[in-house]
Amino acid sequence: MTTPIPEQSTQKPLGILFMAYGGPENLDEMAGYLADIRAGRVTSSAILDEITNNYRQIGGKSPLPEFTQAQVDATMKALEATGRPLKAYIGMRHWSPWIEDAVRDMLDDGIEQAIAIVLAPHYSSLSVEKYQKKIKSALKMYHGHIDFAFINDYHTEPGYITALADRVREGIAQWPEGERDDVHVVLSAHSLPVRIEKEGDPYSRQLLESAALVAQHAGLRDDQWSWSYQSAGRSPEPWLGPQLDEHLEALAEKGVKKVVSVPVGFVSDHVEILFDIDIAAQEVAQELGMKLVRPPALNTDPLFIGTLASVIERKAAAL
């Protein structure tokens, strides 16, 4: 008697490459990490010391790899319902596990078709495009071929917007009901050099689209929120502003005393939030006599994870 062989799917898994900025696992890795971010330009010891000290104050390592892993696990769980064989890979732009290593693993696994998504909802030639270029150059380097479909942006997705609007409401709710009308919400994102504007980069337009939608969904009055950039790089060229510290000063001059800070360009809690907002901006706010509340980043918020799963699913359906 022969035992029937269970029917097995012969469909090859679709690779899903999740990409993020990358962060050091300990302070000894800082010099190498900065060398990669600064494309080999020498980092002065003053800047190295300053940034190392920032990381020391948030626990001596970047929390980004762990948040990324948790976001990927949750998204893959949400995608199980599609019933399609999928395989997740994680590649970082500026530190290990490198995007190039993830592409190598995908080639070794025989992946033929894949979707690439950056854990950053807004497109820029200086961010998302650079991640995509790394995939292309890794394929060339390994003389391999994978048919990649790129997700460029997802900055107006309803789940992402609603999750951020929830954060805004959570922040405002820190004040007693009678005081909430006086709370001002500052929405922000990573600054980039001003030159991107002349190059027709969609980054700032997309950010302002997200911000306006978040404000609308949170039911904010037009005068109850404003936009600011943050975390400008340490290079001599002009960066998009206003920067968060000067923006807080301008708000204080207008009499604002209660502020909720919600960074819309970052999807997890890492140094640009944990140091740049929770320590540096908080210090400025206190000096100005303001109370500043910063609700947690999206991290594994089910609405955000649902957004990632939905944009991936839609891309997969269109292949």
- Residues of this chain that bind Fe ion (CB under 5 A): 231
CB of 22 to ligand L6N33NVT, least distance (A): 8
Q: For residue 80, count other CB atoms closer than 10 A to its CB.
A: 10
Selection from Fe ion, ligand L6N33NVT, none that 235 binds (CB < 5 to 8 A by kind) is ligand L6N33NVT
The single residue listed with the structure tokens 């980092």 is 43
Q: Is 170 annotated as a binding residue?
A: no
Q: At what angle do helices 128-141 and 99-108 cross, to 10 degrees?
A: 50
> Residue number with the shortest CB distance to ligand L6N33NVT?
233
3-state DSSP assignment of residue 287? helix
CB of 160 to ligand L6N33NVT, least distance (A): 15
Selection from ligand L6N33NVT, Fe ion, none that 76 binds (CB < 5 to 8 A by kind) is none
Q: Report d(CA 66, CA 152) in Å as an integer.
A: 23
Residue with smaller CB distance to ligand L6N33NVT, 223 or 237 = 237
Residue with smaller CB distance to ligand L6N33NVT, 124 or 310 = 124
**Nearest-10 Cα torsion for 264, 222, 203, 33:** -30
Q: Is 22 left (phi over 0), alpha (psi -120 to 50) or beta?
A: left
- Residues of this chain that bind ligand L6N33NVT (CB under 6 A): 21, 23, 34, 37-39, 51, 120, 124, 126-127, 190, 192, 233-235, 265, 270-272
Selection from Fe ion, ligand L6N33NVT, none that 23 binds (CB < 5 to 8 A by kind) is ligand L6N33NVT
Selection from Fe ion, ligand L6N33NVT, none that 70 binds (CB < 5 to 8 A by kind) is none
- Which strand (E) or helix (H) includes residue 163? helix 158-172
Q: Is 272 annotated as a binding residue?
A: yes
Q: Name residues whose C-beta falls within 8 Å of residue 33's C-beta, 6 or more positions apart in sequence.
A: 22, 23, 24, 94, 95
For the annotated binding site for Fe(2+), the residues are 190, 272
